[in-house]
Amino acid sequence: MRISVPVNHHFYENQGFLDVELAEKFHVNHTNSDIDRVRNLFSSVYELKLGAEQLKQIRIFNFKHRRFEQDEERLILKLYSKEKFEQKKEYYVQTGLYAGVLFYKGCKINITTKYGDVFLKRMLNFVNDIYVDNEQVKAKKDETENQFLFIIAYLFIQSLEKASVLGLPQQYKKQQERSHKVRGSIDFHEYLKRDIPFKGTLTSNFRERMYVQEIIDVLYLALRKLERLFGKEIHSRLFGLNQLLKQNYSGHFANYATIQKAKTHQSINNPMYCGFKKVLEYAEIILLDKDLMPDNEKQQLATTGYLFDIAELFELYLERLLNRNFSEWSVSGQEELSIYQNQFFSRPMFPDLVMKHRTNEKVVVFDAKFKNMEMQNRDVDRSDLHQIHSYSGYYRNNLIVSGLIYPFSKEINTEKSYSKSIYGNDESDTQFIIEGIYVSENHSMQELIKNEEAFINRISSIINKD
């Protein structure tokens, strides 16, 4: 039993769905028993937020260290129902800005990005400095939820590339060799047993550094699986390492026990190899993506799975995109602004994107919002609007532009989304804008890059004007 729902779903909408829609949404038959199974999910209000106790069994992957406002609400998932007319119920699913896979009460819940794989790949390109603009890397469509596996693949490759700079994990192992040469120490037990009278060969014992076989097998098989799903281009930057893993692979499939031995092996406690801890976490998900569903009733009561902060990915993507295109400006993410430092109500603020001109004091401040944007009034959350104006007030006379940046679901109309002055009262030279990149699930990589360029040109025309 599974459900797919996009991030930021029903965040401001009040429309639920009834039993017939319930069956279709959860991919089950319209029989009473199947409907009852799904209703059980909504038997009580289920709400999962950042910091909740249930998150202890959920892996949350971040793309950078993110700092939150103290009172910022971080919803992940909410399931609930309401009594409606004629004793019928309406069922509601709400999501925040975390995408991924959750398992709850025997149901697999896929929280997806509605903008498609191309935009996801493009953001990951910028985060990892791996550019696959020709769309050669394509996933086969199957039940493994490749959208999330693709994120894991990129994180796995990036972390493996960094961790392997100092080599693959090794350990000393006791070896025995029978030869006419002596390595280490002579095995006197074998000598007395086999070498009297002496015939020219001796048995010697020695310690030799060797690769950890479980880790080699897990890494090699993870790369092989990614190659089957996405093609050889997915790990083209790891060609030398891939060959080394192939040479040292044992030839045995890595089962669950092998993966656990690799993850807990003492060698990765060595500071030299500690980077492999995260690598092996990614490898586990890649190898066991079909086997993450809890297998007994007791386990199904717990919430398990893995999640990604998609808002953080979008923010980092914009930071890199702006840095790449505006060399005369320094671009920083999550700059800390300390306000009221000497008062009891002091606190920091963290605007997502701050651009400062390198030769003058001009400042541009943006907040990145990975939320639905169709240029309707309700698309701009009141709290988001108040927040960006708080940041804007901090920079005062140096600020030339501030605004919110979204992935747009339609072509941008700047006449409707640009204000010549902040607050719209014509008393300031600071411009306020709602901007973004037009993204469609059907866009090719080339179309997306063209829309990026249009976004950059619009920003440039505003901040570089005399």
**What is the chain's pLDDT, residue by residue, as a tens digit (466 residues)?**
777 888 888 766 666 777 777 777 776 666 777 778 778 888 888 888 887 777 777 888 877 766 655 445 688 889 888 887 666 788 888 898 888 888 888 788 888 888 877 888 888 878 765 444 434 445 444 444 556 777 888 888 888 988 988 899 988 877 777 777 777 677 767 766 776 777 677 777 777 788 999 999 999 999 998 888 877 777 777 888 989 999 999 998 888 889 999 999 999 999 999 999 989 988 988 888 654 444 444 445 567 888 888 888 999 999 999 999 999 999 998 888 888 989 998 888 899 999 999 999 899 999 999 998 989 998 999 989 999 999 999 988 899 999 999 999 889 999 999 999 998 887 788 999 999 999 988 888 899 999 999 999 999 999 987 5
How much is the pLDDT for 280? 92
Cα separation of 422 and 369, whole Å? 19
For 198-346, where are the E strands, in sequence order? 202-211, 304-309, 329-333, 337-339
Q: Is the peptide bond before 197 cis (omega within 30 degrees of 0)?
A: yes
Q: Encoding tokens for residue 204? A: 């010697």
Domains observed in the chain: 1-115+294-309 (no CATH), 144-169+216-289 (no CATH), 170-211 (no CATH), 326-463 (3.40.1350)
* Three-class DSSP category at 202: strand
Contact in structure between 59 and 305 (CB atoms under 8 Å): yes
- Residue of 455, 446, 365, 450 whose CA lies nearest to 407: 455
Contact in structure between 203 and 178 (CB atoms under 8 Å): yes
Contact in structure between 308 and 99 (CB atoms under 8 Å): yes
- Checking phi first, is residue 50 left (phi over 0); if not, alpha (psi -120 to 50) or beta? beta
Cα distances (angstroms) measured from residue 192 to each of 187, 198, 201: 9, 10, 13
In a 10 Å sphere around its CB, with 0-12 CB exposed, 13-18 middle and 19+ buried, how is residue 236 labelled?
Answer: middle
How much is the pLDDT for 143? 41
Cα separation of 214 and 252, whole Å? 10
Q: Encoding tokens for residue 50? A: 């950042």
Q: Encoding tokens for residue 103? A: 């398992």
How much is the pLDDT for 46? 87
Cα separation of 348 and 302, whole Å? 36
Type of residue numbered 162: K
For 326-462, where are the E strands, in sequence order? 329-333, 337-339, 347-349, 353-357, 363-368, 399-408, 418-419, 431-438
How much is the pLDDT for 298? 44
How much is the pLDDT for 128? 64
Backbone phi, then psi, for 411, in 5-degree steps?
Answer: -60, 145
